[in-house]
Amino acid sequence: MNIKSYLKITAKRHNRIVVDDDILAGMPSINGRRIPVSLILSCFKDNMSIQEICSEYLLNEEDVQSALDFVVDLLDYPYQEDENEIPIG
């Protein structure tokens, strides 16, 4: 399994996150919005609040929370070569 497959498997656990080769070249993004998860993280790095992020990018709190949950899953369940080793939920 490659890293792109791993991202897609992880995204399936988060209905507001999509990893699609035709959307932002496969970068994890908010479903239907073309806003990358990395942008949400950058906003937090810049000390923006959830409310500010939602207002600036016309998102709702569930979108932002799902982006954070997605990243936590990526960090909690490290990439494994064998997809059978990845916890499903």
pLDDT tens digits, one per residue of 11-62:
999 999 999 999 999 999 999 999 999 999 999 999 999 999 999 999 999 9
What structural domains and CATH numbers belong to the chain?
3-78 (1.10.10.10)
pLDDT-derived band at 81 (thresholds 50, 70, 90) equals: low
Q: What is the CA radius of gyration of the chain?
A: 13
Strand, helix or coil for residue 35 = strand
Q: 3-state SS of the chain: helix, strand, coil percent to 5?
A: 55, 5, 40
Structure-block tokens of residue 84: 């059978």
What integer pLDDT is reported at residue 84 of this predicted model?
58
Q: Is the pLDDT of residue 82 over 70?
A: no
Q: CB of 77 within 8 A of CB of 13?
A: no
pLDDT-derived band at 76 (thresholds 50, 70, 90) equals: confident
How far apart are the C-alpha atoms of 26 and 88, rounded to whole Å? 21
Q: pTM for the full model?
A: 0.83
Count of CB atoms situated within 10 Å of the CB of 45: 8
| Sign of the torsion angle spanned by Cα atoms 56, 59, 65, 71 | negative
